[in-house]
Amino acid sequence: MTRFLIGTIAAAGHVNPALPIARKLVECGHEVWWYTGKGFKDKIEATGAHHIPIRTGIDLTDINSIPQSWLKQKDALKGVAQFKFYLKHGFIDSAVTQLEDLTEILREYPADVLLCDVFFLGMSWLHEKTNLPWAAFGLSALPFTSCDTAPFGLGIKPNYSVLGRSRNSFLNWLSQNIIMRDVTVHLDRVRVTVGLPPKSQDFFTAALSPFLYLQGTTPSFEYPRSDLPPQVHFIGTFLPPAPTDFTPPAWWDDLKCGKPIIHVTQGTVATEATDLIFPTIQALANEDVLVVATTGGQPVENLQLNLIPPNIRLEKFIPHAYLLPYTDVMVTNGGFNGVQIALANGVPMVTAGQTEEKPEICARVQWAGVGIDLKTSTPTSKQIRDAVMKIINSSQYRQRAESFKAEINNYDASTLAIKLLEQLASTKEPVFRANK
């Protein structure tokens, strides 16, 4: 039996991928404690793990712990500036209180192995303080610098030619030394405050565990890299279990109408309906399709729609395990987990997301041939209609998505993760891919 200590940012996209891992670890006889926001207590305890709430610092599930000045400053920024704000004041600053809390937890629970999401920087600092082996899991596209790719966050597709590699080299230098330099300086400054030496590492290099990195997708979704670190393992998609308490809405049989089913979702974080839901409804209101829109949890009444077209179905939330088997096209802002679940169901996508790391995910959707990237967070109705109709009328997108479904079905993500984590626990040494 091994004692695992998990740490995750208190947001659904960071917690949900680790739920199958925690459940499988417990089933295999290991002890698991999990540090994250108090709003995830029930989900975590349902896996058999012991939940530890965030004691100091920002808990995104507790609005009272989030300074209003922080929210206002974040919302006032766009693009790269907002991305850098998240890195500096969302993830790096939070690592200070994460380290403080985790150090206290270790006195009560002497963990053998540490596990965290890639943005939970405090765990790597805890490793530096204790020498405990630590693993990280990816919940987005691979963010690490490569000679084969442009810097993470720009949404630029790879180019493997001599000219392309020169482009990558220049852009990576520009990113590290100019554009993102202030993030690296901030990281070193904060490290010093907790008694760690400066390393002059960019954020993502600092977040890459030298022991084990579990990437929650299949190789076909990621740009090929000749310099992929040997401790990075593709383990497939973390599929959430279908909830047993789902009651289908009264209109559920409409999904069998024989018309194309279009699902539009704002995700669970960026839930502004004017970005995708409204323009999609407007785009497809007069088409021979059925549109199922989910609001990301906010009440449907909040949309204040005076007249709902007859081919539109609106709900706060529908589990994808039940809806996606009927879906022909998903319109999404490009959240990583939603994209992966769509691919696991063979559903092609129209993506429209430019916040956080979404440009990278949207770019990969188009690069992989499983959808169309609109390259904006606020597409027009015409852009959405044209993209949806192009996918409906072209079999290539569905065929590519079906090939991803078949590939994903060949992976058992939680079993692979546990096998690799148990190897790390046994050897306390880096776990490299077999071909390295």
Q: Which helix (H) or strand (E) holds 100?
A: helix 93-108
CATH architecture of residue range(s) 3-236+411-427: 3-Layer(aba) Sandwich (3.40)
Enter the pTM of the model. Answer: 0.91
Q: For residues 79 and 74, what is the distance between their CA atoms, to the nearest angstrom? A: 11
Looking at residue 76, what is its pLDDT? 80
In sequence order, what are the beta bridge partners of 350?
331, 372
3-state secondary structure of 269: coil
| Residue 199 binned pLDDT confidence (cut-offs 50, 70, 90) | very high
Distance of alpha carbon 387 from its chain centroid, rounded? Answer: 24
CA of 94: how far to CAs of 68, 105, 270, in Å?
16, 16, 21
Q: What does the pLDDT read at residue 411?
A: 94
Q: How far apart are CA 57 and CA 67, in angstroms?
A: 10
Per-residue pLDDT for 296 more than 90? no
Does residue 63 register a pLDDT over 90? no
Predicted local distance difference test score (pLDDT) of residue 364 = 96
Parse the chain into domains and list their residue ranges.
Answer: 3-236+411-427, 252-409
Q: Which amino acid is at 48?
A: G
Contacting residues for 83 by C-beta, under 8 A, at least 6 apart:
153, 356, 357
Exposure of 109 in the CB half-sphere (CA atoms within 13 A):
20
User: Can you tell me the mean pLDDT for 42-47?
Assistant: 95
Q: Which CATH superfamily is domain 252-409 in?
A: Glycogen Phosphorylase B; (3.40.50.2000)
The answer on pLDDT for 436 being more than 50 is no
Nearest C-alpha neighbor of 400 from the set 380, 370, 420, 423: 370
pLDDT (average), residues 194-214: 95
Judged against a pLDDT cut of 60, whether residue 413 lies above it is answered with: yes
Please indicate whether the domains covering 3-236+411-427 and 252-409 agree at the CATH topology level. Answer: yes
Are residues 35 and 102 in contact, defined by beta-carbon separation less than 8 angstroms? yes
Summarised one tens digit per residue, pLDDT across range 116-168 is 999 999 999 999 999 999 999 998 999 999 999 999 888 888 888 999 999 99
CA–CA distance, 334 with 140 (Å, rounded to integer): 10
Q: What percent of the chain has pLDDT over 70?
A: 96
CB atoms within 10 A of CB 324: 20
- pLDDT band at 434; cut points 50, 70, 90: confident
Tokens of 337: 């987990």
Structure token digits, residue 428: 């306390």
What is the rounded distance in angstroms from the CA atom of residue 43 to the CA atom of residue 34?
A: 11
